[in-house]
């Protein structure tokens, strides 16, 4: 069996609380980690490290679990750079541009969509993202949603059916019929390629009754629930996510006290997406308020051509620290273990025997540098499924 020892690690972030210093990050010093095949086989003090067939000398650097990006929309064609420029000149973000991307996506070939998904997946991996969730939502026909998910499933097991992203133009005057299509034929053809179902529950997209109907159909088809909630304004999304036992309520940018209480008493993760507030020049969500209420918080990119065209978890992490009241340690946890919780995974986002060998070696001695040195490419090497990239 091939084995790989990474030693001379200055700081090993395990995310196993109570096993080292650093609270929830479970930091170990002078540690080594042994990888066999695609799993972590052992970790501990370097002086006790077992023999291995290969070795990487980390040279005093920090080693962390790979980022878990639990929210991305990578299956699309075209871009909306002009819409971004208009926003930076004062236009608001309304989500109306989604239909522009739907038209471009429908017109694109499978190979064009596949090339974009693979380019963005590779871009994210280079920046340390070893697990990524990918949504459909720019097809909005039975055939285009199914092919979006089929292409997404070629690069990740975390696929999400978002047929209820917006009501497409051809159904503009009969939204109930579109909800029927999503719950019936579209769900049936998407479900074989999807693990999750999601709805954009927002004024101008889907209201709580439509969202509840669609998510309930998805649950009956065996899909897990997640929800775009309270992104552009206050609304029922977060409480609906909790009511349905969703793995995650995503965005959470406009919360009232009842929303925070509902999340705090639940197993639903609040996934915050600061790339969207950056790119729409909107107020950032208040992570501090959620953390102080003991809500589990995840950070993700929301990578999409409209509201957040970044695949960079380090960028989102730095925004969360600077703009959302998170400490660097909280942000690192949220971008790794938090994302894993949002996907209900216990084999990623953590470094422990039996976990997937998904990790990154930084060009820095400590996890603090990820927020302290924003915009700097600090990911020296990534291991994905035990394979050094």
Cα 273 to chain centroid distance, Å, stands at: 8
CA torsion sign for 21, 387, 381, 360 is negative
Strands (E), 294-386: 297-299, 359-362, 379-384
Q: How far is CA 120 from CA 81, 170, 334, 349, 385, in A?
A: 16, 30, 22, 20, 19
- Choose from ligand NIG, Fe ion, none: what does 36 bind? Cβ within 5-8 Å by kind: none
Using the minimum distance from each CB to ligand NIG, give the nearer residue, 67 or 138: 138
Work out whether 307 is an interface residue with ligand NIG (CB under 6 A).
yes
| Coil/strand/helix, residue 10 | strand
Using the minimum distance from each CB to ligand NIG, give the nearer residue, 303 or 350: 303
Residues 6+ apart with CB under 8 A from 323: 274, 277, 284
Is 71 flagged in the annotation as binding? yes
Residues between 82 and 101 that touch ligand NIG (CB under 6 A): 95, 97-98, 101
DSSP secondary structure letters along 260-292: HHHHHTSS-EEEE-HHHHHHHT-PPP-HHHHHH
Name the closest residue to ligand NIG (Cβ). Answer: 306
- Choose from Fe ion, ligand NIG, none: what does 307 bind? Cβ within 5-8 Å by kind: ligand NIG
| Coil/strand/helix, residue 165 | coil
Using the minimum distance from each CB to ligand NIG, give the nearer residue, 69 or 302: 302
- Choose from ligand NIG, Fe ion, none: what does 97 bind? Cβ within 5-8 Å by kind: ligand NIG
Give backbone dihedrals phi and psi of 69, rounded to 5 degrees, phi first: -90, 100
Name beta bridge partners: 233. none
Work out whether 228 is an interface residue with ligand NIG (CB under 6 A).
yes
Whole-number minimum distance, CB 374 to ligand NIG, in Å? Answer: 22
Using the minimum distance from each CB to ligand NIG, give the nearer residue, 25 or 232: 232
The sheet carrying 248-251 orders its strands as 67-69, 129-135, 158-164, 196-201, 224-229, 248-251, 269-272, 297-299
Binding mask 299-318 for Fe ion (x = CB under 5 A): ---x----------------
Using the minimum distance from each CB to Fe ion, give the nearer residue, 108 or 227: 227
Is 228 flagged in the annotation as binding? yes
Whole-number minimum distance, CB 302 to Fe ion, in Å? Answer: 4
Contact yes or no for 219/196 (Cβ under 8 A)? no
Work out whether 229 is an interface residue with ligand NIG (CB under 6 A).
no
| Coil/strand/helix, residue 276 | helix
Is 307 flagged in the annotation as binding? yes
- Choose from Fe ion, ligand NIG, none: what does 206 bind? Cβ within 5-8 Å by kind: none
Is 138 flagged in the annotation as binding? yes
Whole-number minimum distance, CB 306 to ligand NIG, in Å? Answer: 2
Work out whether 306 is an interface residue with ligand NIG (CB under 6 A).
yes
Stretch that binds Fe ion, among 38-46, 278-286, 296-304, 327-335 (CB under 5 A): 296-304
Work out whether 286 is an interface residue with Fe ion (CB under 5 A).
no
DSSP assignment, residue 206? B
Whole-number minimum distance, CB 218 to Fe ion, in Å? Answer: 17
289 burial type by CB count under 10 A (0-12 exposed, 13-18 middle, 19+ buried) = middle
Stretch that binds ligand NIG, among 27-35, 191-199, 300-308, 379-387 (CB under 6 A): 300-308
* Whole-number Å distance between alpha carbons of 371 and 318: 4
Work out whether 270 is an interface residue with ligand NIG (CB under 6 A).
no
Is 80 flagged in the annotation as binding? yes
- Residue choice 259, 302, 330, 358 for contact with ligand NIG (CB under 6 A): 302
Using the minimum distance from each CB to ligand NIG, give the nearer residue, 70 or 304: 304
Number of Cα atoms under 13 Å in the Cβ half of residue 250: 28
Residues 6+ apart with CB under 8 A from 363: 61, 377, 378, 379, 380
Of 246, 295, 248, which is closest to residue 273 (Cα–Cα)? 248
* Whole-number Å distance between alpha carbons of 175 and 197: 19
Is 73 flagged in the annotation as binding? yes
Using the minimum distance from each CB to Fe ion, give the nearer residue, 145 or 302: 302
Interacting residues with ligand NIG (CB under 6 A): 95, 97-98, 101, 200, 228, 231, 276, 302, 304-307
Interacting residues with Fe ion (CB under 5 A): 302
Which residues are known binding-site members? 71, 73, 80, 138, 165, 228, 231, 302, 304, 306-307
């Amino acid at each position: 069996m091939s084995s790989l020892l990474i030693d001379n690690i200055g700081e090993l972030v395990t995310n196993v609380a109570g096993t080292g210093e650093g609270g929830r990050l479970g930091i170990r010093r002078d540690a080594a980690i042994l990888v066999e095949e695609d799993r972590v086989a052992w970790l501990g003090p370097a002086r006790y490290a077992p023999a291995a067939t290969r070795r990487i000398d980390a040279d005093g650097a920090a080693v962390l679990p790979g980022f878990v990006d639990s929210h991305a929309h990578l299956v699309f064609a075209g871009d909306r750079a002009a819409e971004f420029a208009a926003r930076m000149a004062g236009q608001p973000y309304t989500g109306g541009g989604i239909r522009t991307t739907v038209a471009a996506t429908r017109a694109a070939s499978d190979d064009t969509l596949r090339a974009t998904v693979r380019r963005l997946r590779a871009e994210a991996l280079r920046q340390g993202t070893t697990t990524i969730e990918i949504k459909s939502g720019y097809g909005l026909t039975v055939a285009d949603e199914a092919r979006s998910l089929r292409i997404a499933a070629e690069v990740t097991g975390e696929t999400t059916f978002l047929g209820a992203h917006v009501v497409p133009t051809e159904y503009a005057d009969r939204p109930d019929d579109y909800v029927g299509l999503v719950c019936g034929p579209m769900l049936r053809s998407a479900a074989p390629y999807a693990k999750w179902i999601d709805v954009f529950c927002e004024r101008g997209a889907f209201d709580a009754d439509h969202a509840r109907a669609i998510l309930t159909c998805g649950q009956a088809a065996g899909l897990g629930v997640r929800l775009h909630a309270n992104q552009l304004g206050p609304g029922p999304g977060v409480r609906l996510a909790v009511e349905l036992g969703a793995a995650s309520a995503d965005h959470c940018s406009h919360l009232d006290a009842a929303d925070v209480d509902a999340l705090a008493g639940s197993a639903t993760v609040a996934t915050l997406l600061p790339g969207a507030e950056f790119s729409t020049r909107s107020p950032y969500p208040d992570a501090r308020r959620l953390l102080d209420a003991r809500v589990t918080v995840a950070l993700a990119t929301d990578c999409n051509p409209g509201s957040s065209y970044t695949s960079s978890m380090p960028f989102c992490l730095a925004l969360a620290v600077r703009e959302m009241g998170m400490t660097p340690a909280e942000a690192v946890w949220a971008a790794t273990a938090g994302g894993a919780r949002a996907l209900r995974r216990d084999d990623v986002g953590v470094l422990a025997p039996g976990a997937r060998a998904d990790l990154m070696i930084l060009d820095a001695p400590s996890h603090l540098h990820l927020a302290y040195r924003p915009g700097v490419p600090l990911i020296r090497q990534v291991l994905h499924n035990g394979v050094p990239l």
